[in-house]
Structure 1
């Protein structure tokens, strides 16, 4: 028996926000409309992005709804107690209206009063800031949570990865967030202790993102700019909230999922009573079949790429699980109908598309069942008389015959066999580098890499001479336009040229491709990119003049200056890896890299942030290697011999009989197919510009070399000189000067709080712009009493009130405006103008706004100009 049903939660949520002046809007399809940046709608705010940027006007300042969502990032966690691929998001939003204080107050009130959760069971996380990204910690939210009634020990600062939300794609609106977690009790782990690890997997379950404070816009270069206005985005997963409020151990026990679980359990017990299928597999089947139904109802069609890949993957995973436990003739239709019956109460298209859902699903299952049957026969034949499945055989079974690797692993385990996993991983890595699986990258000529992969067999392997030569002569053996081979390409067209020989390095192993030119008589073309598929070099070109033809002899020339920059950065990556191993230990392993002409990026396995002194030491070691001017040495040898000589091979290409080993003296030896500088001295100088997280257990270093590194340092020194001049102290005294400024105390005018008398109000009230009455007054601190007093006085004078406090060089403001006046004079607008003098930030509602600034020196000017702000 449920204490509260998911239907009741829906009603309480929507009625609560509608009561608090939020307009209810309809949900959107899980398939985005006119948004190529998203695979699926993954949050309640995703369909509303243009409201946050100001590109579209929302139907009201405050909105709420319930939005079906799909998230594939947690797919490996499906089957545990609270992760789901599909879920419904309870969402509320405010656009250029209220901000942090009202958002947190609304959240806390709904949870503790609407849903009757004891406040002792609630924890809140807040953003701790990021120096690397120049993002400030959200101390304001900490203060607000305490103000509404949460104990300080229940407020947990968390890093960027956990408490900075968005954008939904690579660019767009984003900001710090504050999330609410429910304490499920000591049976699920130890209690959180301030400063310790906050367990968000077992004991503490997230039930609401109570406020994503949309105040920033992420740009394509990774930097952030302020949005035109501030907004709030909140979201609570209906399934997790239902689990929490009913004190259940798993989301699979809630009223909307439990019937699906029971149907699957009943069928499995009937089809194979001895199967002993694990509960986790039942949960996976429940989640995946529900998600597939949602996707097919929205019109998704299973395919090998794009959005269609997700339903195909989920259906095939279900079929694989059932095949493993010998659940022949499983009745999928019964499960799909149960899902349809549940959702049709809220979304009419489930009933409308019922037949389509069944037809598409049945066709996919029928097709994949044949794959499983054929694949099983092939694996049996392939493994006959063997004790090990080679990595190459496993790769063929996966890529050519569609068998999931998990299926092959299970087969091997059941038959007492092993799999060469390392060889398999190398095959997969090589395959990904070739085809960029699932990305369907497009060249300017309209040719996809998947299409090029199919065409590679039509050409002989390209002879690459680019290690030694930056120019050469070759013959055109292929021209491709729009995924088709043609005889010629004309001026102003884009195409792909295949030659028998090339000096252009093709993108591989994290190093970008060369660019340059080709010419033949009056024909000239620009090489913009080069891809390599099965040792065939595909040159992406813009034809500038003349005509490119099959059998034409062409002169090729690499952009030498750009190549040198790339080589310097690539060699610096090798030196950086060596320096990391010196300072952090030999456990450091490469997790990826990117080498371009303007910077280098190196990802490595490491569980903690590197402190500035460690980074300085690493940088110094790299520059020591550079100054010692080690000569590059390249030789071909066997893999065994290279490893014996100490070569690193963490991320090498697929190994053949011979490997390419690149060395710089005794400090660096790696297996590498890339191009490198002739000696380390030519790198000139290396400057690390950032170190940050690139995922769980992976850190990322970005660095510059040569002219780019020098220019960066010069710019930083110029900034330091400007600060020195501004503060009128030598550079070495800047920090002590700033400390002095930071500890400068302001003398309060009015330090005690008391309700103002009519006489005091009359004496302090003045006339401002447009004849509006206003008042400014100082208090010791911005307490709730001061806030209430500001509202009261604003109503009395029918005007604008500014109360402020000063402490430790920081100014806090409360702006209150008479509610009738606030229809034409907005408190948000007033406080923004005031905070501009204080280098501060803040916001609120039309009649009440609060904020703070770090520049107390600007207070005097702010007060003098306050009368002009409205």
Structure 2
């Protein structure tokens, strides 16, 4: 067995399957694209679903990849077990109706045992098979030459997720030897496939040959597939003879950096602190890559997962004596470990560090509050002589303040309490149900459909050069059946060539008409989509006879098309301007290019200022007015990247790509349609900017005619304002508005002065009525002032004049009650605190509040309870 690094193992796997005719699919973003069924990409096959369910037919039916993935269903086990990771890498090879069991098994064996590749000792390898899969067992036994005692039949070896593709699988295990034997020899789990540390699963080969139907019956798939997965962390731990995944070169550099930051605690000296090292090393890796792929911390969905990971890691940092933001300092180390295949972390290092540091600092601002709440809870339970902390309370601490359950348990046990784990799990289960309900209930893998995947006609797009073309009707489909002729109704049509653009990359499809040889419109094109094999599938409304094999004139709605291409080129200009103004770390997160407007979504951690929006708008319009040429060339992907071309979010590019170049200022990979010169756009106007999700913002904008309409509508609003203000010209509106503002401010000041005088007069009357509770003097009264601010003014007068030991004031405004309590310094020293007093009287007005020892305030929705609150103050002071 060779001594290999993790980078070498990954590259070796990809090189091996490339030599077997596989196309290497690059690792996709952890954030799923156009897949509402997944919160994260959670396996190597997850990004290839479109191939397995027949939505798209790839150029090559053999694919291999190294895919970063995230799973958070058992996050509590991370750090405690040898092999649980939040983020992990899955190495996989896939066949889409090409090779099957024989090749998959032979190649797996060759890669693992050949001296040219990994070079494992064959005697160290064991396999499991599904009992009914006689073919797999035969191949292992007769062709590979495994002895019977190295082949174990297991009923669970059947991959099935419900409706969709399914089938038996065979797993490969490595015998790590007696030193890893954590079970007695006679333990029923001490075998390859059992729950033990000696026999480590390193590869799973799934033979997807059945379709699991909704009625729970199985039918043979028209195309049998191979879906394999080998965890990089696992196989590297074997190759590097590491006790767990964490002692490999994928994690140890990070752990060493955590040691350096901690200063005192060392990894490997204490099993408890070792858990904290592992949790931090795991979580910072997941955080760094997720943020690089556009996810940001928030209170919901993916953002909630990231916030939870970050807070959990920070709390474990405290166990290592780290009591300040530190995770952001680990980003560079994480990026360097995996930079050979994943350069994105180092490329966005500054942005990732900023996001993590900001989130950490916010957490440290609230952590003390969370600890205070926990201590109050423990004190309350202690007073009530309880012995267990309620699960709902634990969940609130966990959910709101990011407290790991084990930390709550540790503090509770130190105080002599048990923890209601069952109650906590019920709350967690309810949250998971809410999360699942919030996502789509679509199946995670579709069922193969053969109608569109079997289409093998040629359909060429000619819309880059013409918007009208003669073309033969190759196929006509209605109600999922091929037909030769239609006189009316909705249908799908494929022509040998078409000028109609199919919806892609955010650009909506062209619409138009189909004209017969008599010059009459026989169908209207309402939409165009791409079929699985790339043909242009026209959605048509048939008005008059359509006949397969006949020639027709396809005519795009030119006016609509021209409005679309103006908005598309403007989107490219906006993309470039946005990066210049906000920074290169901003990434596109979707777009819509329609005739009426354009919409641009992008990741950004923060708010966009009006000044920044104006600057973007200015840059785009300057590029329009400079009349820059817009050119497109077709080239290979590597040449395009060397030109500096930006790839758009969610797009997949083949070997040949189109590069849209705006005078070397904006260069992007794009298959859409564009103007010939930026001056064709006319003018560009941003209509709105807003946040649409955690760390994702949206700009809506218009060009040309719609921009003119936008300016006209704004001018009309200004004219209305000028009329109301009785001004002859709209350019006087601003000055007049400023003048009126100053007048309003002056009136407000005069009103404040009058209110203050009234309050002072009330104070003279109120402060005369001093009451006593034992040796404590106090004033308790309801006053007629407008808000809490004036209550505080009265309290200031009370303090300056040294009226009494305690002050209690109340007022009613807009159907609500405001309460204020104040206590002199000497009285505070006697143990009487304003915050305690306000908490005692606030329930009388159905409210709550708090504050300092010398002053506190509260609000309530029951003003009729004010007299009772004032009386309660006297009783409370009496003791």
Give the alignment's TM-score, normalised by structure 2. Answer: 0.45
Whose radius of gyration is greater, 1 or 2?
2
